[in-house]
Structure 1
Amino acid sequence: MSEILDRPPLAETPGNPAPENLLGGFIETSDRVRIRYAVAKVTGASRGTVLLLQGRNEAIEKYFETIGDLNDRGFSVVTFDWRGQGGSERPLRRSPFGHVKHIGQYLIDLECVLQDVVLPDSRGPYTILGHSMGGLIALHASSRHANTIERLVLLAPLIDFASSLPSLRTLSRVATAARWLGLSTRPVRRSIPSRLPNPADNPLTSDPHRYQRNRLLAEHAPELFVGSPTVAWLAAMTRAMRRLDDSSEIAALSVPTLIVTAGADQVVSSAAAERLAYRMRCGSALTIPLARHELMQEADRFREQALEAFDAYVGNPALVAA
């Protein structure tokens, strides 16, 4: 059941206005979680619809600029906040931590938006553009939506963490053991820094303007964001990542997929993402040298490469009247 509003409640900050055509509201999933979504349709001819899947600890507001860019390229856009972050319902109501029990809960969110928002009122063809955690979820959802989604474009997808961290196997075992010990809702880190790093030192973007824009958003609307992930979140994500190393899981991935990695990524492993692309029968990979993790928040010289790669991969099907 969806609640359609003329305009969803949005946090606008100086330098980050919402697109004028952005509509949306809230929708309830099959397990009764309230999800905030937004839709921005193009006027005139359409090249199809992009389902924009955010990463961990992101919100609709962070993608205002990207939504506008995709509209300018002829694509309508649908996006939403995953349960537990942004303006969607939190499973841990009085906790500042990012929590989910298993990846299946995120798949329910995606299924709900796809079936109740995208398909009834948005023109195809349908493409998923997923960032980081959104890319991981898109891969696990692709086999069940292979008849609906025509392309996946995954930006710095979460296939493994950066190499400086313990191995994925070790993280998964430790997190799973901690969950069985009853520590599911405990944070992975006891605290998070009270101050964000300087633009030059942060691992997310080299662009000082976009970094400051996102920083102002976090200061203006802290309720949209979360702190450390919980033990259950880590157990769920590491298990999902490990499954993508299984040959039978990879063989089930049939939607044509472009994986775009950031050459200077310190958050996720670009090498792991590239290996997955090479093992997929329908996958390909592209690296943007020197770029940091958040490609849609990066400097123009990196960001434009990612957008051009998306445009070229999706192609230019015959325009259909809106």
Structure 2
Amino acid sequence: MADLLFETDTNQIPAATRSGMLEMRDGRKLRYAVTQAAGRPLHGTVLLLHGRNECIEKYFETIADLAGRGLTVVCFDWRGQGGSSRMIRDAMRGHVDRFDDYASDLDQVFRDLVLPDCPPPFYILAHSAGALVSLLAAPVLANRVRRMVLVAPLLGLPGSPFGIKCIRIATRSLSLIGMGRRYAANSRYQVGGRPFAGNPLTSDPARYMRNIDIVRHQPQLGLGGPTVRWVSAALHAIDRVQHPDFIAGISIPTLIIAAGADSVVSTPAIERFATQLRNGALLTIDGARHEILQEADFYREQLLAAFDAFIPGSDEPENTTATEPAESL
């Protein structure tokens, strides 16, 4: 049953979807959805891992696209957001103590939901912070996941190295003196979200308003800005996955897709990271903003074409970069 999920006139729950709540080791509960493959032949199961301040409903369109490709799709809300357990009293603050908690949740989702109930082989399609968690969990996932596609992974923030260093020191210091649960910036929760004009996420007004409407209808799914501790934990996780020894241990064939016009995460940092992977490929989609799966068709279809070429695929990936100029839509 899909009674834990919410739909609007422009955002319907995909067919053959069931949902539930999965209890984690610490008692927190994650809301999940499993959508059966609609197309043939069958190709296994893909875990669709979204980013910070996102929820399952935002990916109904992508879930239907993947199911039509013969993939069973598993999607869940990370702890502290969407329909999953919130972490602190102020439910609208995006908080986590450490990114290892996300990685542990991903491991348990595999153990308790994916491995018992979903057809192999297994793949990952992850966005932004979800892609960072996937990299963090890669050593554990190596014997389970055949391939990963990471979209605009959170591997750095825009700005000067000096500025990022100051953020790292400030958030770590504030966390140590008990201020980790405060907002990292003046970014309190707003039900209506930001207006479309000037948004850094997508150039597609219809998809943008569709996603805004999800939270307007179900404000409990929304989230404000990250806490000081969340930012500190994210920067620590970025440092860990970028260590040469950690990179050398990533054995899962991985396609990284960067957004050429990304102002949320650092595209140069993503491209530098991709060149160090021993079994990785890079595609940069020129002109695309941060949320490529929510982007205009011109950009989104490039991502889906790359996904189709890589998954289920059997050839080892090669480094590629999209060089065609992007159109404004």
TM range (shorter): over 0.9
Matched, 1:287 2:284: yes
Matched, 1:201 2:193: no
Task: Pick from 18, 23, 28 the counterpart of residue 33 of structure 1.
Answer: 28
Give the stretch that moved more between structures: 187-196 or 85-94.
187-196
Q: Summarize the Cα distance change of 1:186–1:36 in structure 2 as closer, same or farther, 3 Å threshold.
A: same
Q: Summarize the Cα distance change of 1:57–1:179 in structure 2 as closer, same or farther, 3 Å threshold.
A: same
Unmatched tracts of structure 1, length 5 or more: 1-5, 318-322
Q: Deviations over 1:57-98 (max 9, x none)?
A: 000000000000001111110010000000000111334200
SS in 2 for 1:274: helix
Match for residue 319 of structure 2?
none
8 A contact 1:30–1:108 mirrored in 2: no
Q: Deviations over 1:149-188 (max 9, x none)?
A: 0111000000001236964332222111110011011111
Q: Which amino acid aligns with 1:211?
A: Y
Matched, 1:9 2:36: no
Match for residue 242 of structure 1?
239
Task: Pick from 144, 153, 162 the counterpart of residue 149 of structure 2.
Answer: 153
Give the whole-Å Cα distance in 1 for the aligned partners of 2:31 and 2:3: 8
Aligned pairs, how many? 312
Q: CA deviation at 1:244?
A: 2.5
SS in 1 for 2:282: strand
Q: Which amino acid aligns with 1:151?
A: R
SS in 2 for 1:9: coil
Normalised TM-score (structure 1)? 0.93
Matched, 1:227 2:224: yes
Unmatched tracts of structure 2, length 5 or more: 315-329
Match for residue 185 of structure 1?
181
Q: CA deviation at 1:145?
A: 1.2
Matched, 1:57 2:36: no
Q: CA deviation at 1:316?
A: 4.6
Task: Pick from 128, 135, 143 the counterpart of residue 132 of structure 1.
Answer: 128
SS in 2 for 1:67: helix
Q: Deviations over 1:232-290 (max 9, x none)?
A: 10110000111223111111111111110001001001110111110111111100010
Give the stretch that moved more between structures: 160-169 or 108-117.
160-169
Match for residue 259 of structure 2?
262
8 A contact 2:37–2:69 mirrored in 1: no
Give the whole-Å Cα distance in 2 for the aligned partners of 1:233 and 1:182: 13
8 A contact 2:189–2:223 mirrored in 1: no
Match for residue 15 of structure 2?
20
Q: Summarize the Cα distance change of 1:215–1:165 in structure 2 as closer, same or farther, 3 Å threshold.
A: farther
Q: Which amino acid aligns with 2:13?
A: A
Q: Percent identity?
A: 46
Q: Summarize the Cα distance change of 1:168–1:254 in structure 2 as closer, same or farther, 3 Å threshold.
A: farther
SS in 1 for 2:233: helix
8 A contact 2:204–2:296 mirrored in 1: yes
